[in-house]
Amino acid sequence: MITDDDVEFHAPSPDPMWAETNYFGFEIPEAGTHIGLYSLFRPNLGIVNSAVFANSRMVPVQTAIDFWDHRAYLPLGENRLSDFSLANGLRVACLDPNRRWELRFDSEWLTVDVEYSALMPPYDIHDRAMDPLARDGGDDLASGDLWKGGHFDMTGAVEGTVRLHDRSYDVDWLLTMDHSWGVRGEYQSGTMTWLQAHFSRDFAVHAIFQSDATTPPGQPLDLSISHSYVMDHGEAVGVKAGTGRTLREGLAQREVELELVDVRDRVWKLHGVAQTGFPAEYWPGSSSPMAMMRWTLDGEVGYGTTTDFYDYRHHVALQAQRARAAAER
């Protein structure tokens, strides 16, 4: 069960790679743009890794998106998780534990000034009373201790303003954030898809999937459910079963099909078409193709991002696989 105390740093293990993360990501549908504010804290090392970005394009490299700022060694200093200011210009302050945050970023080309308010309780993936797919022991996603300490996701409303280059936007949409803590090395052993479909303040879908990391680029990526919820009028309804498939161009997502079954036996079938795409990198050693999708569900239209997490060892294996296939031809 997530409590108000979880808004602060947890007591770390002695492992120098102990990490605490949070991510706040939202879309500006009328601009076809998504914004990401990510921080990974390593208190035992006294540093913070942070990636801040804005993208409205379908591009093959990070340097071609609207804004990209990734720092690996920002000083942690005296920052608290509930109230921190980083040297890259990111400021996050929790105004009400696990319910309301103030999010700010200030740079020459991107300014974010928004407030996020939760529309549901934190969805604890280790709480069996909440998540029918909760697992014993805390390990998850074939990633060792990645989320062993804890992890929750939560959808809410985001309001404020964004200035991107020479244009300003009023923001009034949805944001799905997450917070995790545990030992996180530079590489992870498994793959993961992390996605959300935002439709209204009354309805959204969030899901986490696993997939086969050896699936060759360009082939459909079959998704196996790990955790998911449907946010329905403020209630976090757990998903008990689900499948998905991502159609790709190389490793870039182009379309996603989902079928989810919640604990009320309601079936949700979603179809997403990519509006943007680029290869994000949230921390060194990771590679994360990311796309903003235009989702449809029963005639309704929503927006949200989907991100496939690999590490660079997967790319080495895929390159070797391609080399062997070419040699056999």
Q: Is residue 181 part of a domain?
A: yes
Q: DSSP letters of 45-65?
A: TTEEEEEEEEE-SB-SSGGGS
Q: Is residue 3 part of a domain?
A: no
Tell me the C-alpha distance between 35 and 108, whole Å: 16
Phi, psi of 243, deg, nearest 5: -140, 165
Instruction: Give SS3 for 211.
Output: coil
CATH of the domain at 158: 2.40.370.10
Find the domain containing 47 and state its range. Answer: 15-328
- Bridge partners of residue 226, in order along the sequence: none
CB 173 within 8 A of CB 269: no
Helices (H), the chain: 312-328
Instruction: Give SS3 for 236.
Output: strand
Q: How many domains does the chain have?
A: 1
**pLDDT at residue number 103:** 99
CB 278 within 8 A of CB 65: yes
Instruction: Give SS3 for 283.
Output: coil
Q: Is residue 242 part of a domain?
A: yes
Phi, psi of 234, deg, nearest 5: 85, -10
Q: Could you tell me if residue 249 is left (phi over 0), alpha (psi between -120 and 50 degrees) or otherwise beta?
A: beta
* Alpha carbon separation from 209 to 140, 142, 196, 280, 287 (Å, rounded): 11, 11, 11, 18, 16
Q: Is residue 2 part of a domain?
A: no
And the tokens for 14? Answer: 């002695």
**pLDDT at residue number 230:** 98
**pLDDT at residue number 206:** 98
**pLDDT at residue number 3:** 97
Give pTM, 2 decimals: 0.94
- Bridge partners of residue 219, in order along the sequence: none
**pLDDT at residue number 75:** 98
**Residue spans of the chain under pLDDT 50:** 138-144
